[in-house]
Each structure stands twice: as C-alpha cells, then as structure tokens.
C-alpha cells in the first residue's frame, strides 16, 4: 500500500531551487533512504513532509490525504513522527518516564486523557521499551545510558506517537559502527513487522546500502536516481555526483 506519495514537490529560497520538482513514493513497512551531497535538498524535503516548511508547489499525500502546508502539529496528529538528530530525551528522567510522557501526549492528541492515563501509559511504555531492547534499563535515568541506548529510547519515544510514517534525520550520527548496525537492524525489523514506513537520511554509505529497502538520490534539488541498493550503487549519475562532491571538498581544503 502506498503510504506517502510526493508529487512534483518544489521549494525555492531566493533564487535557489532547494527542492525542484521531486516525486517519489514510500510503501507501508518500507525503509527508504534519501541520500545526496550537502545542499542537495534533503532537509528541505523532510521539513516540508513534517510541516516545518510549506511547499511552493506540489503535493505530499499521506494515506490519501494531501498534508502539504498543514501546520506541524496537524501533520504529527495524522501520523507523521520523527526522531531527532540530537538526543531529545530528558536526561534526569528514567527511560520509562520519557516514553510515558510521549504516550500521554499522544493520548491527549486523540482525546483519551480521561482514561486512567498513568497506569495505561506505564504498561505500554514498558512494552515499547521491550520492543527496542531496553526493558532491562527502563528504570535508569537516560543521562547514565550509553549513547546507543539513548537512541533506542528515542526510537521508543517516536513509536509512542503511533506513527504511520517515521522521519529519521541521520539516526546513527555519532554512533560507533557496531551500534549503528544494531539500531538500523532494529529499525528495519520494526518497519517490516509493524508496517510503519521509514524515510531516513544518512551519511554512512555502509548503513544506507546495508539496510535500506530502496534509495532515492537528490542532487541540487532534483531527484537523479532511485532504486534498490544494488541498482543505485552502480548508477553512473550517482557515482558522478558523489565523485564531484568529493572533488569539490578536496579542492576547497587545498
């Protein structure tokens, strides 16, 4: 089932066509990587999907509804969740309390706060922490957790919003390779098992080619290639863009 359909999306800043007629789609349960050199338009695209930016033109259709230009809170309410690049957990609170807070915020979103919220949230929070492999550490403050474990709690917090679509901006930034692989393996398992669609950006090509079901490639605001990891890796346009980008960076530092 098509969860997200982006059609001819465009955003111009001054004279810069940051996102220029981009179209792609994402299926429920799919892990889709968006890659491209710095300035390619990845963040701008993400920020239109999560509502922080309104598109100049084009459509963002989530489960049949055009959400383009709606305010962020509305878009979140309709099932678009996100994790944050910088650790967003409260470090003095226990892991489980962080997840409970997210659950209670969702209950208020769907008008269920009259339920015995705290107890309900506690059981569900425990289940979410189990899902991300953090049940044993539920009672520890986030501030004492290893970085990779904080990232797992952040994933549980994002899942507490019951998203249909999860946006992950460089989820493995700052992580050691072993932790990276474990987090992406977990994310992929959750996507495949629960039907949550995941759109992520990522610098590590090992992570992208190792875990994405499909990859889309942006360069200068345009979508230049898409396909499965093998097809994208061998695509001459992609090789050219990455070679060019590296070349410029080397040139700039000389």
Residue 123, CB half-sphere, CA atoms under 13 Å: how many?
A: 4
Pinpoint the alpha helices (H) of 94-176: 95-109, 117-131, 147-160
Residue 32 backbone zone (phi > 0: left; psi -120 to 50: alpha; other: beta):
beta
Q: Find which of ligand ADP, Mg ion, none residue 38 binds, CB within 5 to 8 Å per kind.
A: ligand ADP
Least distance in angstroms from the C-beta of 245 to ligand ADP: 11
Site for Mg ion in 18-47 (CB under 5 A): 42-43
Site for Mg ion in 43-72 (CB under 5 A): 43
Angle (nearest 5°) at CA 77 between 42 and 140:
85
Q: Using CB under 6 A as the criterion, which residues of the chain lie in contact with ligand ADP when the complex forms?
A: 13, 16, 18, 36, 38-44
Least distance in angstroms from the C-beta of 23 to ligand ADP: 17
Which of 107/172 has CB closer to Mg ion? 172
Using alpha carbons, select from 191, 187, 227 the residue that is nearest to residue 209: 227
Q: Find which of Mg ion, ligand ADP, none residue 36 binds, CB within 5 to 8 Å per kind.
A: ligand ADP
What letter does residue 146 receive in the DSSP assignment? -
- Burial environment of residue 6 by CB neighbours within 10 A (0 to 12, 13 to 18, 19 or more): buried
Least distance in angstroms from the C-beta of 60 to ligand ADP: 15
Which of 40/183 has CB closer to ligand ADP? 40
Which of 40/157 has CB closer to ligand ADP? 40
Using alpha carbons, select from 127, 84, 136, 130 the residue that is nearest to residue 103: 127
Least distance in angstroms from the C-beta of 35 to ligand ADP: 9
Q: List contacts with Mg ion (CB under 5 A).
A: 42-43
């Amino acid at each position: 089932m098509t969860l997200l359909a982006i059609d001819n999306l465009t955003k111009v800043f001054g004279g810069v066509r940051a996102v220029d007629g981009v179209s792609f789609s994402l299926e429920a349960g799919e892990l889709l990587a968006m890659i491209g050199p710095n300035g390619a338009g990845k963040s701008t695209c993400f920020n239109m999907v999560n509502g922080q930016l309104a598109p100049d033109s084009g459509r963002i259709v989530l489960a049949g509804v055009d959400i383009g230009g709606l305010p962020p809170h509305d878009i979140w309410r309709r099932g678009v969740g996100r994790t944050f690049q910088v650790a967003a957990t409260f470090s003095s609170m226990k892991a489980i309390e962080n997840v409970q807070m997210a659950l209670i915020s969702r209950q208020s979103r769907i008008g269920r706060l009259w339920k015995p919220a705290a107890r309900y949230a506690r059981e569900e929070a425990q289940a979410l922490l189990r899902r991300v492999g953090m049940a044993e550490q539920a009672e520890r403050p986030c501030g004492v957790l290893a970085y990779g474990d904080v990232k797992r709690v952040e994933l549980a917090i994002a899942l507490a919003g019951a998203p249909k679509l999860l946006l992950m901006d460089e989820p493995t930034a700052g992580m050691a390779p072993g932790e990276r692989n474990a987090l992406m393996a977990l994310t992929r398992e959750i996507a495949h098992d629960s039907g949550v669609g995941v759109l992520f950006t990522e610098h590590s090509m090992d992570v992208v080619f190792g875990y994405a079901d499909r990859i889309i490639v942006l360069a200068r605001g345009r979508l230049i290639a898409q396909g499965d990891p093998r097809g994208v890796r061998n695509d001459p346009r992609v090789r050219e863009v990455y070679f060019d980008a590296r070349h410029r960076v080397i040139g700039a530092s000389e």
